[in-house]
Structure 1
């Protein structure tokens, strides 16, 4: 089975690379997609539409430009992995999980046990909750097995 897997969420650690390498090592037929993970480039996505005096409007334009990529890739995904890190609040990741739930796209949450309570609704709609990238690879291996 071939899958397209969208990797959403936290951008400050190498969890995406760990999952991609684990899938490659397991010879899984998976195409991975992701949002723009360069923080500065993501924040500046709307700047090409003109400078803004107020931060709200700069963020608003950048969020919309980024959403073109994110919505398109989420709609094309067979499965999403939504990572919540402990250092920053990932409101965008929660939004992506909600969008997956609305689309009927299965998703796996990836976070440590310290976030169980704040993510209880997000986890309740997920097909699985993993605490490590290796667990995600194990799930993907199971799902794609013949």
Structure 2
């Protein structure tokens, strides 16, 4: 079985790379996609449409340009992994999880135990919750490899 897995959320740690390397070690046939993870590039995505005096409008335009990518990739993935870190609020990740839920796209949440309460609704719609990238790799290995 081949899967396309969308990796959403926190951009300040190497969790995406850990999942990719773990799946490669298992020789899994998985294509990974993601939003733009370069924070500055993501923030500037709308700048090509012209400069703005107010940050609201700059952010608004960039969010829409970024949404072309994220909407397309979420709609075409087989499963998503949505990572919530503890340092920053990942509102975009919560939005991605909600979009997956609305589409009926299965998703796995990835976060520490200390933020269970604020993510209870997001976790309730997920098909699995993991606390480590290794757990995500094992789930993907099970899904792809077991016949």
TM over 0.5: yes
Q: Where do 5+ consecutive residues of structure 2 fail to align?
A: none
How far has the Cα of 1:29 moved from its partner? 0.6
Runs of 4+ in 1 over 4 A off after TM superposition: none
Aligned ranges 1:88-107 → 2 under 5 Å: 88-107=88-107
How far has the Cα of 1:83 moved from its partner? 0.2
Aligned ranges 1:32-47 → 2 under 5 Å: 32-47=32-47
How far has the Cα of 1:71 moved from its partner? 0.2
**Alpha-carbon separation, structure 2, partners of 1:131 and 1:37:** 21
How far has the Cα of 1:41 moved from its partner? 0.2
How far has the Cα of 1:113 moved from its partner? 0.3
Question: Which position in structure 2 is the counterpart of 1:133?
Answer: 133
What is the count of residue pairs matched by the alignment? 146
TM-score, with structure 2 as normaliser: 0.99
Question: Which position in structure 2 is the counterpart of 1:11?
Answer: 11
Question: Which position in structure 2 is the counterpart of 1:110?
Answer: 110
Aligned ranges 1:42-53 → 2 under 5 Å: 42-53=42-53
Q: CA RMSD in A?
A: 0.4
**Alpha-carbon separation, structure 2, partners of 1:118 and 1:129:** 14
How far has the Cα of 1:65 moved from its partner? 0.1
**Alpha-carbon separation, structure 1, partners of 2:125 and 2:43:** 29
Q: Where do 5+ consecutive residues of structure 1 fail to align?
A: none
Q: What is the CA deviation profile of residues 58-103 of structure 1, one whole-angstrom value per residue up to 9, with x for unaligned ones?
A: 0000000000000000000000000000000000000000000000
How far has the Cα of 1:44 moved from its partner? 0.3
TM-score, with structure 1 as normaliser: 0.99
Question: Which position in structure 2 is the counterpart of 1:123?
Answer: 123
For residue 6 of structure 1, give the secondary structure of its aligned residue in structure 2. strand
**Alpha-carbon separation, structure 1, partners of 2:83 and 2:115:** 11
